[in-house]
A and B are shown apart, each in its own frame.
Chain A
Amino acid sequence: DIQMTQSPSSLSASVGDRVTITCQASQDISNYLNWYQQKPGKAPKLLIYDASNLETGVPSRFSGSGSGTDFTFTISSLQPEDIATYYCQQYDNLLGTFGQGTRLEIK
């Protein structure tokens, strides 16, 4: 099974800050990686697909990069509505796996 190691597990930042989350795969997954945002009581929302492509309707302050085993998710200027938990997810394997999640809070 492919393991996804996501860090940090929690993060506190100020409005306007640049926020970065990383995800490392246990083996090469090419660019088969998604990033999701999940707010309490809601289903996950796809933000980034294929490692770096912005889903339609998602603000441009969200971005993703990387390939192979190392991936990065960035919010260029944190907004209050970005408070949520973020997950990476690989789909290179037959059954996808998620990272452990990063809980983002406002400082």
Chain B
Amino acid sequence: EVQLVESGGGLVQPGGSLRLSCAASGFTVSSNYMSWVRQAPGKGLEWVSVIYSGGSTYYADSVKGRFTISRDNSKNTLYLQMNSLRAEDTAVYYCARGHGDYWGQGTLVTVSS
């Protein structure tokens, strides 16, 4: 059974950092393209970052230069390193497989002083 479980969210001050994790089971992360999608409170969905099976990475303009997507093949886990966090980064962050056939339950990131 395919499962994605995010962790690492929490409250952080503006300018701070967090690393989100997405542990996958039932499939191999490195054989798929994987995404991070976020949803600000009461708002719509925003695609944040993608990592392709070959290792290429892409970012939304809103996070470029601040966020880094990566994966650990030995742990079958996807990561999102978030630096220089801003209030507008406050959102539930989801990891998703491929075009979005499977999603995690989401982890809340709150950026506030």
Q: Which residues of A approach B to under 8 Å, CB–CB?
A: 34, 36, 38, 43-46, 49, 55, 87, 89, 91, 94-101
Contacts and interface: CB of A to CB of B under 8 A. Distances in A.
A91 B58 CA distance: 13
A96 B100 CA distance: 10
B94 A94 contact: no
Contacts of A98: 44-47
A95 B101 CA distance: 16
Nearest to A97: B47
B109 to A, nearest CB: 15
Interface string B60-87: 1000000000000000000000000000
B45 A43 contact: no
B44 A91 contact: no
A80 B46 CA distance: 27
Contacts of A34: 99-100
6 contacts: A34-B100, A43-B105, A49-B99, A96-B50, A98-B47, A100-B44
A43 B106 CA distance: 7
Interface string B81-112: 00000000000001000011101111000000
Given A89-B45, A98-B44, A44 B50 contact: no
A47 to B, nearest CB: 11
Contacts of A101: 44-45
Contacts of B50: 94-96
B60 A44 contact: no
A92 to B, nearest CB: 11
A36 B35 CA distance: 16
A46 B2 CA distance: 14
Nearest to A50: B99
A43 B59 contact: no
